[in-house]
């Protein structure tokens, strides 16, 4: 994360979330809004991945949008399938 302003805001917002004076979903909304409008954030290639990590940390599973949950589940299934293929190829070499 390259934007110092966003880092400071995230820390402040997280304190509000911890004190239960701000909803986690609102914090995520503020982060996304800032990222969409800030020149520094728009140029940061890793920012979206970092926002996803923060979202996973602070939002309970039930509050993550259904489309995002479905995409995460699909990615996990594809990863498991690839791992299974890799492990089955390794046993074929042994025989």
Which residues make Cβ contacts (< 8 Å) with residue 59, sequence separation at least 6? Answer: 24, 25, 28
Q: Say if residue 15's pLDDT is above 70.
A: yes
* Contact indicator for 65, 24 with CB cutoff of 8 Å: no
Q: Whole-angstrom Cα distance, residue 65 to residue 52?
A: 12
> Which ranges of the chain would DSSP assign to H, the alpha helix?
4-18, 24-37, 39-43, 47-58, 66-94
* Contact indicator for 51, 34 with CB cutoff of 8 Å: no
pLDDT at 57: 87
Q: Say if residue 68's pLDDT is above 80.
A: no
- pLDDT classification of 58: cutoffs 50, 70, 90: confident
Q: Whole-angstrom Cα distance, residue 24 to residue 17?
A: 6
Q: Say if residue 31's pLDDT is above 70.
A: yes
Domains of the chain, residue spans: 1-62, 65-95
81, two tokens: 């399938």
Whole-model pTM? 0.62
């Amino acid at each position: 994360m390259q934007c110092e302003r966003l880092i400071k805001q995230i820390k402040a917002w997280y304190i509000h979330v911890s004190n239960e004076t701000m909803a986690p979903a609102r914090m995520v909304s503020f982060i996304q809004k800032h990222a969409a409008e800030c020149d520094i954030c728009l140029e940061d290639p890793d920012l979206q991945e970092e926002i996803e990590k923060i979202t996973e940390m602070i939002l309970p599973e039930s509050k993550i949008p259904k489309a995002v949950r479905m995409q995460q589940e699909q990615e996990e299934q594809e990863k498991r399938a690839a791992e299974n293929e890799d492990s089955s190829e390794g046993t074929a070499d042994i025989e």
